[in-house]
Structure 1
Amino acid sequence: MATSRLLRTSAALLAATALLISGCSSGSSSPDDEASPGRTTEAGVQRPAGEPTLAPLPASTPGSLRSYYDQKLSWHPCASGGFECATMKAPLDYSHPGGGDIKLAVARKKATGTGHRLGSLLVNPGGPGGAAIEYLEKYAPQPAAVRARYDMVAMDPRGVAHSQPVECLTNQQMDRYTQTDQTPDSPAEVNKLATAYRDFAKGCVSRSGKLLSHISTVEAARDMDVLRAVLGDKKLNYVGASYGTFLGATYAGLYPSRVGRMVLDGAMDPELDARATNVQQTAGFNTAFTAFAEDCIKHKNCPLGTKSTADAAQQISALFKKLDAHPAATGEERKLTESLATTGVIAAMYDQRAWPLLREYLAQAKAGNGRGLLAFSDSYYERSPNGSYSNQMYANPAVNCLDLPPAFTGPGQVRAALPSFRKASPVFGDAFAWAALNCAYWPVKSTGTAHRIEAKGAAPILVVGTTRDPATPYSWAQALASQLSSATLLTYEGDGHTAYGRGSKCIDSTIDAYLLDGTVPPKNKHCK
C-alpha cells in the first residue's frame, strides 16, 4: 500500500540511491474541485488563494532554549568505521521547553583535506522518515572535493531511525497492511481499506504516544538550528533531497539570516494544497511511466508490447487487474497482490537504471511469477529479507499528517476526486487517490497549513529540478525557486528523481562549484 510519503529505494537493488514521494501529501481541499480556487503561475501551476507566508523566528535565541544551544556533544566512534556519533538534546515541545527532552542521533565524518575548512555540511535524504545517518554513510565518500573541505554531518530527524523512532505495527501486521487492496471495487473493500488506515493509526498511538504530536517539519527545522550552533557554525550549510528540500526551505524561512550554502534537489512546493499536490504528483508518475514505456516498446521482448505507450498503459493496467483477482506466486508465503505489484512498479520509476529489471520482472509477473516485483515493493517499503521493516513507513505518515490537514475526510470525497486522478494517470490514478485517505483517520490534529516560503534576506539558495522527475514534478522546483527570494533554479533535463550525484557532470560540477566557492550558476541554467 503506497501511502503518502517520500522514501529511499534500495541502492543494492536499484543500483542507485533515490528519494521519492508517493501517494500524497496532506493538505486542506474542497471535496469537489481538483484544486481550490486561486491563481495560476506562468509555469502553469495552480495556486490556492491567500496562502500565508512562513514567518521567521526572532534572530536572538530565547533564554529558555539557551541550555540546548550551549550543550557540548560527546563524540565517539560509530559502529561504521570512519564516522563519529553523538546524541543531541532538544526540547520535545518548543512551546514548553521545560516539558521534557528528545534525544537526537548525530553523526559526522570530518573533512579529509588539508586546505581551508568550510565548516559543516548537513545532509538529509528526504522522507519524511529517511534515515539521514544511514544516508551519510553512503553519501560521505562523494564527491571527494566537497568532503575534503566540509565536515559531513547528518542528524536523524525526530521520530526517525536512531532519534526516538515512531513505531506503529509489528512486522507481521505491516505485511498485511502492505497487501491491503488500495483500489477498492466494492463497499466492502472500501471498508477494509478504511479499517486498515484506522488500525495503523491506533498502532502508532499505542506504541508512540505523545511523540506523535511533536515530529513536525517545523520542529525538525528548529532542531537543525540547535545542531548548527552546537557544531560551532554561524551559518547552516545544507544539501537536502526530495522532502529534504521542504525541510531545508523551512529552515531558511525560519532562520533566513543563518542560511549558508543550501542545495535543495528534487524540490517540493510548500504552497500547494493537498488536491493540487496529489494530482500533480500522479501526473508526474504518469510522465515517468510514459518515458519507461517509450523505452520498453523499442525492445522486441517488451512485456507491454511494441505498439505504443497507450497500449503499454492498457497492458500494465490489465496485469494489475489480473493480480487483483489472482495474486501471483512468489516462492514464499506472501503472494504478489495488485497493491504490491503497483508499489513495485512505482519503486522502479525513480531511476531509469531500474528499467531493464522492471521489464524482466513484468514479464515474470505476466507468466505467474511475482518474485521480482515483490522484491521491488520490498525495497520501497524498506522490508529486509528477514521480514523486518525500517521505521520510515511509520515516521512518514506521522510527519505528513501532522504537517497538514487531511486531503480527504472520508471515502466519499475520494470517489468524487477519482476522475481527476484518472485523468492525471490511467495507470496509477486510483491507487494514488485512495492512498490520500490515510490521514483522514490520523489520531493527532495537524499543526500546519500550506504556505509560501520566501526567506527574505537569506544567502543565495540553489534549487534543483529534473524535468521528468516522477516524485517531485519539475513544476514544483520552478515554484519553490520563485518563492524563495534568493533562489536560483538549476534544471536537469532527464529522467529519475533528484539530479545531484546521479551521473550528470554538468549538474555535479555546478553544485560542487556552489558548495566549494559559492559560485551561483547563471539564471535558468539547464543540464542534460
Structure 2
Amino acid sequence: MGAAPAARADPVDTSDLPESLTGQSLDWSRCPAPDPAQGDDQMSPAPLPDGTGWECATMEAPLDYRDPEGETLGIALIRSRAKERGDGRIGSLIFNFGGPGGSGVITLPAFGQDYGELHRRYDLVSFDPRGVGDSEGVSCLDSEGLDRFFAADPVPDGARERSRLTDRLRRFADGCEDASGDLLPHLTTTATARDLDLLRRVLGDDRLHYFGISYGTELGAVYAHLFPRRVGRAVFDAVVDPTGTTEQGALAQAKGFQLALGSYLDHCGEREDCPLGGDRDEAEDRLEQLLHRLDSRPMRTQDPDGRRLTESLAWGGIAQSLYSEDFWPYLTQGLGDALDEDRPDGTVLLALGDAMNGRNPDGTYSTLQSSLTAIGCADSSERYSERDVRDVLGEFEDASAVFGPPMAWSLLGCTHWPVDGARAHPKVGAEGARTILLIGTTGDPATPFEGTEHMQEALGGPGTAVRITFEGEGHGAYTSGNDCVRDKTNAYLLNGDIPDDGTTCD
C-alpha cells in the first residue's frame, strides 16, 4: 500500500480571521424547499411539535484557511430558536448527522421532534458541511452515470471484472475532478472543524455545544483537538474509531454488519412468515444465494425508469436496513418479494438501495455518496492497490460472506483520487477540554462498539470523556427510543450532569 504525502498543516486560528468573516451578520429567513442535492424531501421543513418554525441562512467561510483573505464558500445553515429566552437559554446546539456527506439542513428538521426537550433551552442548529448539499456539494457524475455506477458489480470475479471496476472508479474520480477540482483539496474534516468554530463565533457562543452522530463524532473530536478550551457540552453518539487504518475500519464494519445481520435473522426467524426460514445458517445461505443469482440475472422491478435490481443494489438495500430496527419490516417485505417463486420482484430492495445511495424519487441524486468519497479521500493519505485488496480478501470473507467482499474492494475508492489525503489518522487528543459524553451501541453495524472505547482513550481517557453503553441494535442510540439514554443525555446537555463512566442502558 502506498501513502500520499501529507498535506501542509493549517496554522490559522479562526480568531485571526478578518472581521468580514468573524463579524458577519447572518440573514436568517424562511427556509426554501430543499435542493435535490440535499435529499429527497422536497417540502419546506415542517414546524417542530411546539409550533416553532425553521430559519435558514448562509455563512461565508474561507475556502482555504491558509488564505483567509482569499476566496470564500457559502455554508448552508438551518436553525430553530429556543423556546426559552434570557437566562433559560443555554445557547446554540450544533448537530452533524454524519456520512460524511449528510445534509444537516434536511436532516435536523426531519428528526426535530426527537430533540424537543433540548429545544426548550437550545437553538437547534445544523448545516451542510463544505462539499455537501447546498454548501458547494460535490457531484461526480450525472444521474444516469450514477445509476450505472451504483448498479455495477461490487465484487470482481476475475481479471476482466477487476479491470472494469478499476475503470469505473477512475471515471468517478475524473468526474469529481472535472466538477469540483478546485474544491477537493479543501474538504478535510479539519477545515470543517474550523467552519464549526467560525459558526460558533458568528452565532455569538463562547463555547461550542455540539451533538455529533457517526462521522459527526470524528468531526467533533477533531474540533476538540483544535480548540479544546472552546468545547462546551458535547455528545458523540455512534462513535467512530479514530485509531485504525482504512482497512481496519472496513473490516470492523464488515464484522459489525454481520453482527447486525445475525440479529435481524434471529428476529425474522421467530416469525412464521419469515421469507428466509427459521434456521439462522440456512437463512444466511438463502440470502447469499439470492445475491449470487442477482450477480448474473438482475431482477425486474416496478421502477418507472425500468431499472432492475442488481447484486450491488440489493446489497446496499440490505445494509441500509440494518441501520435501524425500524427498517427490518421493510427488509422482510423486500426479501419476501424477491424470493417469491412465482413472481419475484425487487422493487422494495431497490428502494432501500436507493436510500443508501442518495437517489431521489425523481431520479436525481443528492451529493451524499460523492461527498462521502470526496471528504474521505481528502482526509486519508492511505491509497490501496488491487494486490492489497487480494491480500486481505480472505480475512474479509471470513468476517462476513455477505458484507466482507464488497467492503474489501471498497478500499480502492481513493486509489485514483486526484488529491493527496491529509494523514493516516485524525488528530483527536483533547487535553483541557470539558468532559465529552460518548454513547456506543453494542449492536451498531456501521460504527462498532469497540470504537467508543478507542475514541475515549484517544481523546484523553475518562478525564476527558465518559462512556454510556447502550445494549441494543442500530446506528445511534439517542433516537432509538431508549429512555435511559435519552434521560442521561438530556441531563448532561441541559443541566451539565455528567453520568458515571461506563454507565449501561438496556
Structure 1 length-normalised TM:
0.87
Q: Which residue of 2 aligns with 1:350?
A: 323
Distance in 1 (CA, whole Å) between partners of 2:448 and 2:253 is 6
Q: Which residue of 1 aligns with 2:347?
A: 371
2:501 is the counterpart of 1:492: no
Q: Which residue of 1 aligns with 2:26?
A: 73
Q: Which residue of 2 aligns with 1:310?
A: 281
For the 8 Å contact 1:107–1:133, the answer to whether it is kept is: yes
Q: CA deviation at 1:415?
A: 1.2
Amino acid at match of 1:312: A
Distance in 2 (CA, whole Å) between partners of 1:387 and 1:495 is 31
Distance in 2 (CA, whole Å) between partners of 1:339 and 1:301 is 26
Q: Which residue of 2 aligns with 1:252?
A: 224
Which of 144, 157, 174 is matched with 2:146 structurally? 174
Matched residues, percent identical?
A: 39
Q: Which residue of 1 aligns with 2:242?
A: 270
Q: Which residue of 2 aligns with 1:422?
A: 397
Deviation larger for 218-227 or 107-116: 107-116
2:382 is the counterpart of 1:406: yes
Distance in 2 (CA, whole Å) between partners of 1:95 and 1:407 is 25
Q: CA deviation at 1:331?
A: 2.2
Moved over 4 A (4+): 55-60
Which of 112, 124, 145 is matched with 1:140 structurally? 112
**Aligned residues: CA RMSD:** 1.9
Q: 1:28 to 1:217 in 2, by over 3 A?
A: farther
For the 8 Å contact 2:222–2:426, the answer to whether it is kept is: no
Q: CA deviation at 1:412?
A: 1.9
Distance in 2 (CA, whole Å) between partners of 1:265 and 1:231 is 24
Which of 500, 517, 523 is matched with 2:495 structurally? 517
Distance in 2 (CA, whole Å) between partners of 1:329 and 1:370 is 6
Distance in 2 (CA, whole Å) between partners of 1:518 and 1:65 is 34
Q: 1:208 to 1:306 in 2, by over 3 A?
A: same
For the 8 Å contact 2:224–2:433, the answer to whether it is kept is: yes
For the 8 Å contact 1:107–1:155, the answer to whether it is kept is: yes
Deviation larger for 83-92 or 141-150: 141-150
Distance in 1 (CA, whole Å) between partners of 2:83 and 2:223 is 27
1:365-399 CA-to-partner distances (Å, cap 9, x unmatched) read: 12221111001101111211210110112111000
Q: Which residue of 1 aligns with 2:356?
A: 380
Distance in 1 (CA, whole Å) between partners of 2:29 and 2:271 is 53
- 1:197 match: secondary structure: helix
For the 8 Å contact 1:28–1:274, the answer to whether it is kept is: no
Distance in 2 (CA, whole Å) between partners of 1:197 and 1:244 is 26
For the 8 Å contact 1:124–1:135, the answer to whether it is kept is: no
Which of 183, 190, 206 is matched with 2:178 structurally? 206
Q: Which residue of 2 aligns with 1:450?
A: 425
Q: CA deviation at 1:228?
A: 0.4
Distance in 2 (CA, whole Å) between partners of 1:98 and 1:138 is 36
1:315-351 CA-to-partner distances (Å, cap 9, x unmatched) read: 2111110111111100231111111111110110111
For the 8 Å contact 1:56–1:256, the answer to whether it is kept is: no
Equivalent runs, 1:2-13 vs 2, <5 Å: none
Q: Which residue of 2 aligns with 1:288?
A: 260
Equivalent runs, 1:114-129 vs 2, <5 Å: 114=85, 116-129=88-101
Q: 1:455 to 1:315 in 2, by over 3 A?
A: same
Q: Which residue of 2 aligns with 1:470?
A: 445
For the 8 Å contact 2:381–2:423, the answer to whether it is kept is: yes
Q: Which residue of 2 aligns with 1:434?
A: 409
Q: CA deviation at 1:56?
A: 11
Structure 2: tracts of 5 or more residues without a match: 33-43, 48-52
- 1:142 match: secondary structure: helix
Distance in 1 (CA, whole Å) between partners of 2:239 and 2:277 is 34
Q: 1:60 to 1:399 in 2, by over 3 A?
A: closer
Distance in 2 (CA, whole Å) between partners of 1:68 and 1:178 is 39
1:37-73 CA-to-partner distances (Å, cap 9, x unmatched) read: xxxxxxxxxxxxxxx9xx99787822x4443222222
Structure 2 length-normalised TM:
0.90
Distance in 2 (CA, whole Å) between partners of 1:60 and 1:468 is 38
Q: CA deviation at 1:440?
A: 0.5
2:281 is the counterpart of 1:327: no
Deviation larger for 501-510 or 65-74: 65-74
Distance in 2 (CA, whole Å) between partners of 1:142 and 1:316 is 34
Distance in 1 (CA, whole Å) between partners of 2:321 and 2:453 is 25
- 1:494 match: secondary structure: strand
1:235-274 CA-to-partner distances (Å, cap 9, x unmatched) read: 0000010000001111011000000000000000111111
- 1:520 match: secondary structure: coil
Amino acid at match of 2:272: K
Distance in 2 (CA, whole Å) between partners of 1:443 and 1:134 is 30
Distance in 1 (CA, whole Å) between partners of 2:12 and 2:195 is 15
User: How many residue pairs are counted as aligned between the two chains?
Assistant: 475
For the 8 Å contact 1:313–1:426, the answer to whether it is kept is: no
1:156-187 CA-to-partner distances (Å, cap 9, x unmatched) read: 11111111111211101100001110111121
1:265-313 CA-to-partner distances (Å, cap 9, x unmatched) read: 0000111111211111110011001111111222222222222x22222
Q: Which residue of 1 aligns with 2:78?
A: 107
Structure 1: tracts of 5 or more residues without a match: 1-26, 30-51
